[in-house]
Structure 1
Amino acid sequence: MVETIVFDIGETLIRDDRYWASWADWLDVPRHTLSALVGAVVAKGQDNAEALRLARPGIDVGAEYRAREAAGHGEVLDESDLYDDVRPVLSALSERGHRLIVAGNQTARAGELLRELDLPVDLVVTSGDWGVAKPRPEFFQRVAEVAQAPLGSTLYVGDHPANDVFPASAAGLRTAHIRRGPWGHLWADAPEVAAVADWRIDDLARLAALLGG
């Protein structure tokens, strides 16, 4: 039985469209160009920040992030960034008695913005809050601590095999791989994902149906 469900953030609950569009505008490159670069680095298994370095060689991503904040072009998240099924499915799962946690690789500021959305969850935390990021085992140790449930009764839902499915499974959690965003679509049918993930889903409504059954 699944008692606690932990959700990744980017391309699981939140669309990354605004994030990458804002970076393209800031770097003064066409949005399609940066989007294509993101896809290219994803296919190579590289960190998506490498796309920014390809768009502007020599960029200090951290310094550029701070410059954006100072210029009033920092992170923004609102209801329009959520996938359409997020709020209704989270509400349904909460009503069934599941403990719900949002935990992903995001800044502390993104965590603040997510909490302001007042999602029907028990906890929202980010790698920026914890000071440790996926796929490091320490991140999933923290997940296990806040889950307040046995490892075998805790499910981690995410789109990225290397950051979500594989390390969560290695930590003893159950896993669901969602076909969303470039990572989710690229590896949705990969044999190694099929071999590890407890479930592979196209949307959160499917997850709710599986758990309900």
Structure 2
Amino acid sequence: MIETIVFDVGETITRDDRYWASWADWLNVPRHTLSALVGAVVAQGLDNAEALRLARPGIDVAAEYRAREAAGVGEHLDESDLYDDVRPALHALRERGVRVIVAGNQTPRAGELLRALELPADLVVTSGEWSVAKPEPEFFRRVLEVAQAAPQATVYVGDHPANDVFPARLAGLRTAHVRRGPWGHLWADDPDVVAAADWRVDSLTQLVDLVRA
């Protein structure tokens, strides 16, 4: 029986469009250029921050992040950044008695912004707030602590095989791979992902049927 479902953030519940567009504008490169670079590093299995380093060699990403915040053009999230199925799916899951958690690799500021959206979730937390990020095993130990359920009664939902599906499975959780965003689409039919994921979904609303079953 599934008692808790934990959701990744980027390209699982939120779109990354605004994130990358704002970086492109800050670095003064065409948005299409940075988008293409993101696709290139994704295909190589690299951290997506490598796209920023390709756009501006030698960039100190952390320093630029602070500069953007100081300039008033830092992180921003609002209702338009959510995928359309997020609120209906999370609401329906909670109605069925499932504990809903949002926990992904994001900054403390992103955690504040997500909580301000008042999602139908029992807990919203980020790696920056925990001071440990995926795919580290400690991140998933923290997930299990807040899940308040056994690993086999907990599902981790995400788009990224290396950050979500594989480490969550190693931690003993059940896993759902969502086909959205560049990572979700690129590796949707990869044999290793197919073998590691308990479920593969195209929409978060499919998880409601999963719980019902």
Q: Same fold (TM over 0.5)?
A: yes
Taking the aligned partners of 2:92 and 2:162, their CA distance within structure 1 comes to 29
> Which residue number in structure 2 is paired with residue 52 of structure 1?
52
| CA shift for structure 1 position 17 | 0.2
Instruction: Give the secondary structure class of the aligned counterpart of 2:205.
Output: helix
Q: Distance in 1 between matches of 2:127 and 2:91?
A: 24
Q: Which amino acid aligns with 1:114?
A: L
- Other-structure match for 2:123: 123
Question: What is the correspondence of 1:12-161 to structure 2 with a 5 Å cutoff?
Answer: 12-161=12-161
Q: Match of 2:136, as an amino acid?
A: R
Instruction: Please identify runs of 4+ aligned residues in structure 1 that moved more than 3 A.
Output: none
1:212 to partner: Cα distance: 1.6
5 Å matches for 1:193-208? Answer: 193-208=193-208
Instruction: Please name the residue that 2:191 is paired with.
Output: 191
In structure 2, list runs of 5 or more residues that go unmatched: none
CA distance in 2: counterparts of 1:211 and 1:32, whole angstroms: 39
Q: TM-score, with normalisation over the residues of structure 2?
A: 0.99
Task: Give, in angstroms, the shift of residue 210 of structure 1.
Answer: 2.0
Deviations 1:105-131 (A, max 9, x none): 000000000000000100000000000
Sequence identity (%)? 79
User: What code does the residue aligned with 2:157 have?
Assistant: V
Aligned residues: 213
Structure 1 length as normaliser, TM-score? Answer: 0.99
Output one character per residue of 1:67-117: Cα deviation in whole Å (capped at 9) or x when no partner.
000000010000000000000110000010000000000000000000000
Gaps of 5+ in 1: none
Distance 2:88 2:158 in 1: 18
What is the Cα deviation at residue 207 of structure 1? Answer: 1.7
Once residues 201 and 211 of structure 2 are traced to their aligned partners in structure 1, the CA distance between those partners, rounded to angstroms, is: 12
After superposition, give the CA deviation of every residue in 1:161-208 in whole Å (9 maximum; x if it has no partner).
000000000000000000010000000000000101000001111121
- Give the AA of the match of 1:61: V
- Does the residue aligned with 2:92 lie in a helix, a strand or coil? helix
Give the aligned partner of residue 165 of structure 1: 165
- 2:126 and 2:104 mapped to 1: Cα distance? 5
Aligned counterparts of 2:81 and 2:137: Cα–Cα separation in 1: 29
Task: Kindly report the root-mean-square deviation, in angstroms, between the aligned alpha carbons of the 2 structures.
Answer: 0.5
Distance in 2 between residues matched to 1:159 and 1:212, nearest whole Å: 22
Distance 2:16 2:52 in 1: 15
Partners of 1:210 and 1:7 in 2: how far apart? 15
CA distance in 1, matches of 2:210, 2:88: 16
